[in-house]
Amino acid sequence: MMRTMWLGLALCALAACRGPEPAAPAPDTQGPKVPQTLDIERHFSGPELALARAAASGDAGEVRRLVRDERADPNAVSPGGLPLVAWPVLQGNVDGVAALLDNGADPNREVPAAGHAIVWAAKAPDPHLLQAFLDHGGKVDASNADGEPLTMVAALAGQWDNVKLLVERGADINATAHGMPGDTLLGHYSAGRFDKALWLLERGADPGYTIEAAPVAERVGAQPVVENIYWWPVQAGRFPQLAQAQQRCQALLAARGFPAPAEPPHLARLRASQGGDGGQSGPTRDIDAEIRDREAELKRTLGDG
């Protein structure tokens, strides 16, 4: 059932690639927790407060005037750690972000506790906010204060459109978080989100991370991403598109020299926890090939008759 399937996704401690043995995606901790309804007057004052308000409303003319005539600093950072350019991002105003960047805001400004100001845009629901940063020279391979690349920041925030935008703009598709091998985009999405894993594989994501050290000796030498793609249970009857994407992922892996491994115990337990085999028993079957084989057999039978 759908509820149990997505509950299974939370069990990435068994299947995603963090550290020597897979672990669950970390909670979204990038940057200070600044609610969109914060009292901006407590963060900025004077010309910077006026500039923040103008940017939040998308008034490009007023932003330009304040920077030029009032010497408002578009790179100001509040004592609480909020970069001024993040305020229109939090308000979802693309024009305000672009206006600040047009008038001197640094898209790669490093901010205490956040890494770079662009981190806020990577987590924003509207990809046009991130696009504005990138169009003004924002670095696609920037990271947050925890050492997570923007691609992972976006992934952990659930912003797939931002992930795609970063990759399309040249971000390293195989970048690791915290410098830990296997802690990649593909490792994150291989735990059941095969539509996204397929997109990444088609663009060169490397599935070959191999565990070199683990508390359980049997796990040394395992390839968690490959295991996920072949064995993560999907209810094909209820989620046919997801099952088809998994099948295409498997085909890509096989073509690249990654055959189906033995089912690992943690995925066997996950399958059992879903009340059976999750709608499949092992690597997804090629239904179209089976149909063709049966049709050919039927024709042979009729011909013999």
Domain-embedded: residue 188: yes
Domain-embedded: residue 68: yes
Domain-embedded: residue 166: no
| Same domain, yes or no: 116 and 193 | no
Residue 247: closest CA among 189, 187, 198: 198
Q: Are the C-beta atoms of 165 and 138 separated by less than 8 Å?
A: no
Domain count, the chain: 2
pLDDT tens-place string over residues 142-168? 999 998 999 999 999 999 999 999 999
Q: If you average pLDDT over every residue of the chain, what do you get?
A: 83
Q: Please tell me the number of Cα atoms within 13 Å of 212 on its side-chain side.
A: 6
| Same domain, yes or no: 97 and 114 | yes
- Report the alpha-carbon distance of residue 56 to residue 39 in Å, rounded: 13
| Same domain, yes or no: 305 and 190 | yes
Name the 3-class secondary structure at 17.
coil
| Same domain, yes or no: 14 and 68 | no
Domain-embedded: residue 171: no
Domain-embedded: residue 155: no
CATH code for the domain in which residue 91 is found: 1.25.40.20
pLDDT tens-place string over residues 233-245? 998 888 999 999 9
Q: Average pLDDT for residues 243-254, to the nearest whole number?
A: 97
Which domain covers residue 260, as residue numbers? 1-22+177-305
Q: Are the C-beta atoms of 51 and 302 separated by less than 8 Å?
A: no
| Same domain, yes or no: 98 and 188 | no
| Same domain, yes or no: 129 and 98 | yes
| Same domain, yes or no: 136 and 201 | no
| Same domain, yes or no: 18 and 91 | no
